[in-house]
Amino acid sequence: MKLKPRLSAIAGLVPEGDTVADIGTDHAYIPVFLVKSGKVKRGVASDVRKGPLEKAREVIKRHRLEDRIETRLGDGLEVLKAGEADTIVVAGMGGVLIRNLFEAGKEALEGVKRLVLQPMNAQEVVREWLVKNGFEIVDETLARERERIYQVIAAQPGHQQTEDPFYYEIGRVLIEKNHPLLPDLLSSKEKEYKKIIAGLKISGKAGAAERLKEYERRLARLQGVMEACRMRAT
């Protein structure tokens, strides 16, 4: 079974273990791949909607893994008991939704050894939640499919100093490991900031001037990291 780069990057950050729970599984490709490859023994594949869960069941059946991967219908972490999964994966959802699912399901996080998260946006919300809720960001990676860069974050229970907010936006680990796709991520962030700045410059809304200053600061910081990357590359 061959995974596309995004799913492969997610699977790559799941350590060997007993049970992986994939929350919002849709097609169940992640638990199927992990169980088939022998990286984990069992899987729980959950989704809040019946349609995707049906799709997951079909894929699991096709791979003859019904006895190793259990499907569960439910909202977020409510499908899990504390300590049931070594690794919890939540991928392909917005960062705010991921944060809300964790906030609502804190009990199910007790005893978990690793979280592997792939927020589609608002990655800063996820990183901040992790750091402020007893998790340490231990690894990060990036994957590209067509023009889009995906960010994958791995965390485990532990203490991490509250980060400089800049590193909630661009993961510190990505900068430290000088990930090969980091320049692409930085340029897409640069475009995003420039667009926000252009909008704020013509906005008449209260607070726009403050936000403009904040985004100009962020842009300058980002461009500093871009320059450091370019220097490292030469």
Ligand X SMILES: C[S@@+](CC[C@H](N)C(=O)[O-])C[C@H]1O[C@@H](n2cnc3c(N)ncnc32)[C@H](O)[C@@H]1O
Place of tokens 């490859």: 37
Cβ-in-10-Å burial (0-12, 13-18, 19+) of 233 comes to exposed
Contact yes or no for 196/215 (Cβ under 8 A):
yes
Task: Provide the token pair at 168.
Answer: 């909630």
Q: How far apart are CA 61 and CA 66, in angstroms?
A: 6
Of the two residues 44 and 130, which places its CB atom closer to ligand X in the complex? 44
CB of 7 to ligand X, least distance (A): 6
Q: How far apart are CA 92 and CA 72, in angstroms?
A: 18
CB of 173 to ligand X, least distance (A): 21
Of the two residues 106 and 217, which places its CB atom closer to ligand X in the complex? 106
CB of 71 to ligand X, least distance (A): 12
Of the two residues 47 and 163, which places its CB atom closer to ligand X in the complex? 47
CB of 142 to ligand X, least distance (A): 15
Of the two residues 23 and 108, which places its CB atom closer to ligand X in the complex? 23
Of the two residues 23 and 126, which places its CB atom closer to ligand X in the complex? 23
Of the two residues 116 and 222, which places its CB atom closer to ligand X in the complex? 116
CB of 105 to ligand X, least distance (A): 9
Q: What's the DSSP call for residue 78?
A: G
Cβ-in-10-Å burial (0-12, 13-18, 19+) of 191 comes to exposed
CB of 123 to ligand X, least distance (A): 14
R_g over Cα of the chain: 19
The footprint of ligand X (CB under 6 A) covers 23-26, 46-49, 52, 75-76, 91-93, 101
Of the two residues 76 and 171, which places its CB atom closer to ligand X in the complex? 76
Closest CA to 113 of 85, 93, 153: 85
Place of tokens 């492969």: 8
CB of 77 to ligand X, least distance (A): 8
Task: Provide the token pair at 232.
Answer: 């490292």
Q: What's the DSSP call for residue 75?
A: S
HSE of 201 in the Cβ direction (CA atoms, 13 Å)? 7
